[in-house]
Amino acid sequence: MSVSPLEIVLIAPLAPIAGVVLFWFIQLLFIESQKFLLSKIRSKHEPLCRFTNFLGILFQTMCHALGFTITRSGISSFYISVHYGKVAPKKKKQGVFEWMANGFLFVGPFFIPSSLLLICLYFLINDSFNTSISTNLAISHYSFAGQLISFGNNLYTFSEGFFGFLSSIDFLHPGHLGFFLLLLFLGLGIRPSYIGEKTKEKVDMIYDLKNIKNNLLHKPVYILILFLFSYLFFYISILFEQTWYVLLFSVLGWLSIIAIAAMLVTHLFLLLIKNSDEIKGQWKLVPYIVIIASYVLARTIFFYFPIEHLKSASIVIMILSTFATLFFLLKFKSNKFKTKPTMKPLKKVKSGVTDGPRRVIKQ
C-alpha cells in the first residue's frame, strides 16, 4: 500500500499521541467514578476517605519533588499531611525548568506511580513485554494507520499478559500479594478527592484539566518545541528502521492500563464496602471473612485434588462466594427492610375540620 510522504512527515507521528490521550481520558473518567463512590461512603468511613486523600496528595507531592530533582532545582523542604502537600525548591528556576516541574505536578500522578508497578511486572510477566511489531519494517508501518496499529498491538500484547496475570494471581505468594496491595493502593490514591482542611475544595476532572490547560497555555512555545522533538525522534526511528517512537508511547499506554486496572479493583472494593454497610450489626463483617476463608478453602481442596488453572478457579470461587454471601445478607439481614410506623387517622369533628390541638375559651 502506497503512503504519501506528507502523511509520513506530518500525520503519522500523531497516531501514538492520540492513543495515549484516549487512554488517559478513560483514566480520568474512572477517577471521577471512583470519587463518586468515595463520596457515597464518606459519612460512615471518613478515616478511609482521609487515607485515600493522603495517598493522592503523597503521589502528587512526590511527582512534584521528582520534577524539581530532574530540573536540578533541588528540594529545600518537603511537607505532606492528610489535606495538603508542598515541596519547596532550593533554587527557584524560571522558564522551561519551572514549566517542566509544573508538568510533573499536574500530569505526573497519572503515569509516574504506575511506573513502580510496571517495574514489578517486568519481573513477574517478562514475556508480555515483547514489543516487536513486525520483522518486516515496510514503509506502510510509518503511516498514520500503521503507527496506530503498531501502538494497538503493543497494548494488546501487554494487556493480554497483564490481565492474564491478574486472573491467575497467587494470593499465597508474597510477591503476588504485595503487587496486589500496591495495585489497590495506587487505585485508591491515584488522585486526591479534595484539598484544604476547611474548605475541602473538590479535585475533579475539570480541576485537573484546568491546571493542565493553564500550564500548557502559559508557555505555548514549549509545546511547539516538545512536538518538534517528538517528530525528530520519529524521523530518527525511521532512519534506523526501529520502533523506538511507537514503543515510547506504548509504555505510556501501559501505564494508563495499569492505572485503569487498579481503579477497577478499587471499584469492586468500594462497592463491597458500600453494600456491606447496609447489613445490620456484626453481619456486615461476614463478606470480608468469606473472601479469605473461601480462597484458602479452595486452594486447600485443589492442593489435594489438583485441576488445571487452579489459581484462576480459586479466584472465581472466592468472588462467587463473596457475592452470594453479600446477596443473601442484603436480602435477609439488611437495614433496608424496616417496618413502617402505622399512623393513626385524624379524627374529624362535626364541622369537617381535622381535630387538632385547640384552646378552650371560657365565657
Q: DSSP class of residue 114?
A: H
Q: Confidence band (pLDDT; 50, 70, 90) for 290?
A: very high
The answer to whether the CB of 222 falls within 8 A of the CB of 99 is: yes
Whether residues 113 and 252 share a domain: the answer is: yes
**How many distinct structural domains can be found in the chain?**
2
Q: Which of 32, 18, 19 is nearest to 254 (CA)?
A: 19
CB atoms near residue 287 (< 10 Å): 23
Q: Mean pLDDT score of the chain, rounded to an integer?
A: 83
Q: How far apart are CA 310 and CA 308, in angstroms?
A: 5
Length of the chain in terms of residues written: 363
Distance between CA atoms of 109 and 191, rounded to whole angstroms?
7
Q: Given this model, what pLDDT does residue 220 score? A: 83
- What confidence score (pLDDT) does residue 125 get? 79
C-alpha triplet 182, 188, 190: angle, nearest 5°:
90
Percentage with pLDDT > 90 across the chain: 39
* 324 has a pLDDT exceeding 90: yes
Domain check: are 51 and 144 in the same one?
yes
343 lies in a domain? no
Q: Are 135 and 2 in contact (CB under 8 A)?
A: no
Say if residue 255 is in the same domain as residue 308.
no
* pLDDT the model gives residue 195: 57
Residue 75 pLDDT exceeds 60: yes
The distance from CA 257 to its chain's CA centroid, rounded to whole angstroms, is 9
- Tell whether 175 and 260 lie within a shared domain: yes
**Confidence grade of residue 299 (pLDDT, cut at 50, 70, 90):** very high
3-state secondary structure of 316: helix
pLDDT for 171: 94
For the residues of 184-199, what is the DSSP string, one character each?
HHHHHTSS-SEE-TTT
Question: What confidence score (pLDDT) does residue 355 get?
Answer: 44
Indicate whether 325 belongs to any domain: yes
Residue 312: the pLDDT is 93
- Measured CA to CA, the distance from residue 39 to residue 281 in angstroms comes to 22
Residues 292 and 224 occupy one common structural domain: no
> How many whole angstroms separate alpha carbon 216 and alpha carbon 122?
33
- Residue 14: closest CA among 148, 107, 132, 138: 148
Question: What does the alpha-carbon distance between residue 274 and residue 89 come to, in Å, rounded to a whole number?
Answer: 42
Joined together, the cell numbers standing for residue 180 give 496486589
Q: For the segment 120-160, what is each residue's pLDDT rounded down to a tens digit?
A: 888 887 665 654 444 444 445 677 888 888 888 889 989 98
The pLDDT of 244-258, averaged and rounded, is 92
Q: Are residues 218 and 304 in the same domain?
A: no
Same domain for 150 and 262: yes
**Domain range holding 307?**
278-332
Average pLDDT over every residue of 166-180: 92
Q: What is the pTM of this model?
A: 0.84
pLDDT at 97: 87
